[in-house]
């Protein structure tokens, strides 16, 4: 082979190799573009899934917070009822010690008809008893104070 023929042969071989490399690079480019599109699609799906899970978790937490708040309000109401009951018991105890008569021994129901006329029964409830006591006590206290001043 002569020098120019070797040069042409080498050029043709080089050109063929380059075209083969170009085809393989183009195939790889298409594969990478497909993979990129697939990854973008997966990214969107994962993003949607994650967003949905976050929203579900948020809704569950808000529901739990509402339930907890409701339970807390009910508990506060129970505590207030217990505190009121204790205040009533303290008032009843204080009233019983000042009058000398147990409130539990007194009738709590108003008698009906003729029985009411024959018996002097205090009206039902501790507040009514306290009202009666305050109405009766000042008269007796004023009489005892008037006698002690004389």
- Domain boundaries defined on the chain: 1-100, 106-150
**C-beta separation of 145 from 122 below 8 A:** no
pTM of the predicted structure, to 2 decimals: 0.42
pLDDT in tens, 7-31: 888 999 999 999 999 999 999 999 9
What number of H helices and E strands is found in the chain? Answer: 3, 0
What confidence tier does 87 reach under pLDDT thresholds 50, 70, 90? confident
CB-based burial label for 129 (10 Å; 0-12, 13-18, 19+): buried
Element (H, E) at 59: helix 3-99
148 pLDDT band, cuts 50/70/90, is low
Q: What is the rounded CA–CA span in Å between residue 93 and residue 102? A: 8
């Amino acid at each position: 082979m002569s020098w120019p023929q070797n040069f042409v042969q080498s050029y043709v071989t080089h050109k063929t190799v380059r075209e083969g490399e170009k085809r393989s690079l183009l195939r790889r480019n298409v594969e990478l573009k497909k993979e990129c599109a697939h990854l973008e699609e997966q990214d969107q799906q994962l993003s949607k899934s994650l967003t949905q899970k976050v929203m579900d978790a948020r809704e569950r937490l808000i529901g739990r917070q509402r339930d907890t708040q409701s339970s807390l309000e009910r508990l506060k109401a129970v505590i207030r009822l217990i505190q009121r009951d204790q205040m009533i018991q303290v008032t009843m105890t204080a009233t019983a010690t000042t009058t000398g008569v147990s409130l539990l021994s007194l009738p709590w129901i108003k008698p009906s008809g003729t029985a009411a006329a024959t018996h002097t029964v205090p009206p039902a409830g501790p507040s009514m008893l306290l009202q009666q006591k305050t109405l009766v006590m000042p008269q007796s206290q004023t009489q005892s104070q008037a006698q002690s001043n004389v």
